[in-house]
Chains A and B, each alone.
Chain A
Amino acid sequence: MQRVLIIGATSAIAEATARIYAERGSRLHLVARSADRLKTITEDLRIRGAAEIGHGSLDVNDVSAHAAVLDAAWADLGDVDVVLIAHGTLPDQKACEASVETALAEFATNATSTIALLTLISNRMQQARRGSIAVISSVAGDRGRSSNYLYGSAKAAVSAFLSGLRQRMARHGVDVITIKPGFVDTPMTREFKKGALWAKPEAIASGIVKAVDKGRSVAYLPWFWFGIMTIIRSIPEFLFKRLSL
């Protein structure tokens, strides 16, 4: 039986992932900031087959609370096989350009908080010398674009951090998996017009579980985003700066 810790458990992608683990009969510990939403999700996951489910309440920007929340998670699960970090926001780029405070707050939610959590989590996993740490970054972190470079730079920080962490943890038998979804139809992207490139959270979730099972390093989800991002990364900067993306 796998023991799975999920941070940002009310995210649509995280919930779809939790359902797959529940159907496997996994033991779950869910951390999120909305207790009501967690209750709804917990009832559902129990019926879908999860073994016991523990809870933690956390606003990820409250960094001083991280240690206690993780202590409680480890105490509840005993040992942890899989950690998934899923929280995030899609900042309003224009608002970030207009206000330092907004820019830094959004950066904190999408990058600093994740780095803080990973620092504590990786030390625990290193001791146990086993397990997987999966973090949802984004294809947006592969290159900054004028339409959302605050978000992109935060995800880039997370991706770079994970790449270093992966090297460090490889020596200790812990997998570190960078998840890079493309466009996903979730509450985060509610206002967007959806086209052919859009995926459902269920599809991303099964990709996440597969990447964890196989111990992949970086998973573009769906896979075709690897091709798209390879092209976007290869455009020379002098041309790229003229594009509106």
Chain B
Amino acid sequence: MAAAGRSWGRYPVTTEKVVALSDRHASLPKSDVPVLPLGNARSYGDSCLNDGGVLLAARGLDHFIAFDPASGTLTCEAGVLFSEILDLAVPQGWFLPVTPGTRFVTVGGAIANDVHGKNHHRAGTFGHHVLAFELLRTDGTRLRCTPTENAEWFAATVGGLGLTGVVTWAAIQLRRIAGPWMSAENHRFGNLSEFFELSRASDRDYEYTVSWIDCVASGKALGRGLFSRANHAPASPDSRPAAGNRTLGVPFTPPISLINPLSLRAFNQLYYHRQRKSVVHATTHYQPFFYPLDSIANWNRIYGPRGFLQYQCVVPPEAAETAMAELVSTISAGGAGSFLAVLKQFGDKPSPGMLSFPRPGATLALDFPNGGAPTLALLDRLDAIVDGVGGAVYPAKDARMSGAHFRRYFPQWEAFSRFVDPGISSSFWRRVTE
């Protein structure tokens, strides 16, 4: 079956043949053109696309294999979604050790991008909690990889962008919780240095921290926002608000982007002022806390048929404050700002993968409606700032960084390329290496 490939950013649009995998014991289908494993296509750019090639849809590998409710170790096939793990584990007192901002990602996709969450400063990346997995190469070789067994293959595959082979199953260590509730606090901050202060003061006592910043505001309000910090709540919190249900959806793609300078300014204003007090405490269910966007199905369609571009970068600690100010003022001046800009301090834990994105410093993520050349030019300006201070850009969210930048952001790329399966390639990999 030939299909128009689309990642979550709906840009770029590619053409590939999609072949579904459904049996982890079966060998991979033979192919004359390069293949690429595909998870749930929640990456934004072209790292999960393979123009002119084959996508091996691993979502069909969706069986649980073993779960020990006493120790919290879970073994499952690589196409199992985080949402399915939560449905299984939360009622039994276990939670994902690390989760991105959507629960609709697969275990294989989470490994291949070595994803991070709001607890990076405590827990590191998802790869830190992967106990073992099986890697199936296109030549039929199967390797059991753990941090100590086939360790170099483990390090290449965690964060390896699907290029080293297909992960068929993985064993992960879950984290104990008392119940599904979070006790959270939101603090309003007036500028970037207040953010860094709040972050320093919170990272020790709060397992989860993240901020939203208003990237339309400029001048004295540059970098104002809301800082959220939270811990898992004890079993019976004082109040029990209802869990968020899926009630909204964007059923079709509007002919033009609904995100424009006007709606952006209004949204950012409203969001910043949505809490009247500067600090608000609340007990919430984990779903709205971790996955606010998951309650709006297909929210990515609001950007219209041209799609959008995400941009996530990290800048090292010593340069963080100045580089962030420069990034935010460049974005604010461009006026193309973002619906949801997210700012967080990463911790110091070295990432387990050769191409893992997380590293010490501050990370900023935002999205831009695809406005063609001006948008790309703005992102190039951001790259110049990030590159100038020795930072990096996240491949999972990228559709446009230059090969030269990629190779500087990920100096291990050459050592990594020895592990790339000769039968596998991606649009992203060709773009940054050829």
Spell out A's residues near B (CB within 8 Å).
12, 36-37, 40-41, 43-44, 47-48, 187, 190-194
Contact = CB atoms under 8 A, between A and B. Distances in A.
A43 B65 contact: yes
B25 interface: yes
Contacts of B2: 193
B64 A192 contact: no
Contacts of B64: 43-44, 47-48
Contact of B23 (A37, A44, A190): A37
17 contacts: A12-B22, A36-B23, A36-B25, A40-B23, A40-B24, A40-B25, A40-B63, A43-B65, A43-B66, A44-B63, A47-B65, A47-B66, A47-B67, A48-B64, A48-B88, A190-B1, A192-B1
Contacts of B19: 190
Given A40-B24, A48-B88, 20 more contacts: A36-B23, A40-B25, A40-B63, A43-B63, A43-B64, A43-B65, A44-B63, A47-B66, A47-B67, A47-B88, A187-B20, A190-B19, A190-B20, A191-B1, A192-B1, A193-B1, A193-B2, A193-B3, A194-B1, A194-B3
B246 to A, nearest CB: 15
A36 B63 CA distance: 13
Contacts of A41: 63
By CB atoms of chain B within 10 A, which of A43, A47, A48, A193 has the most? A47
Contacts of A36: 23, 25
Nearest to A187: B22
Contacts, number: 35
Given A187-B20, A191-B1, A192-B1, A44 B65 contact: yes
A36 B26 CA distance: 11
5 A-B pairs with the lowest CB-CB distances in the bound complex, closest first:
A44-B63, A47-B64, A44-B64, A47-B67, A40-B63
B61 to A, nearest CB: 10
Contacts of A194: 1, 3
Interface of B: 1-3, 19-20, 22-25, 63-67, 88
B266 to A, nearest CB: 34
A191 B66 CA distance: 32
Majority secondary structure of chain A interface residues (helix, strand, loop or mixed): helix
A36 B25 CA distance: 9
By CB atoms of chain A within 10 A, which of B19, B22, B66 has the most? B22
A12 B22 CA distance: 10
B374 to A, nearest CB: 35
A187 to B, nearest CB: 6
Contacts of B63: 40-41, 43-44
Nearest to A49: B88
Nearest to A41: B63
A194 B25 CA distance: 26
Contacts of A37: 23
Contacts of B22: 12, 187
A44 B25 CA distance: 15
Nearest to A189: B1
Nearest to B62: A44
A192 B25 CA distance: 24
Contacts of B25: 36, 40
Contacts of B66: 43, 47
Contacts of B88: 47-48
Nearest to A185: B20
B333 to A, nearest CB: 43
A43 B63 CA distance: 8
A194 B18 CA distance: 11
Contacts of A192: 1
Contacts of A190: 1, 19-20
Nearest to A37: B23
A194 B88 CA distance: 31
A37 B60 CA distance: 13
A130 to B, nearest CB: 32
Contacts of A191: 1
